[in-house]
Amino acid sequence: MKPDSENIRLRVQTTLDDLNREHLIPFKLTAHGVTADGPGNYVVPFYDSRIHSFEFSWKDGGKSSFKEVVRSAVLKRVQLMTAPPKDWH
């Protein structure tokens, strides 16, 4: 069964907006789509030179909620940045 990529993208964007509101990421990110990269594996591209994309794995009915998995993946990806922006606290 093919995943509903638009629904997943919207759920990812809601989580990104929450992280931004909570000041846990240094700048607003916009999910421009979701690509399935195997069963339960997803890549979310950003059109941003600071962070190009992030990946996460999630299967419906798994131990962790969708939101928890996405939050964790985004926060790990942000930690990989070489340096946070100067105006970020």
Q: Tally helices (H) and strands (E) across the chain.
A: 2, 3
Structure tokens at 8: 């997943």
The tens place of each residue's pLDDT in the chain, 89 residues long, gives 456 889 999 999 999 999 999 999 999 999 999 998 888 899 999 988 889 999 999 987 778 899 999 999 999 999 988 666 666 65
- What's the pTM value of the predicted model, to 2 decimals? 0.85
CA atoms in the 13 A half-sphere facing the CB of 57: 4
Report how far residue 80's alpha carbon sits from residue 14's, in angstroms, rounded to the nearest whole number.
22
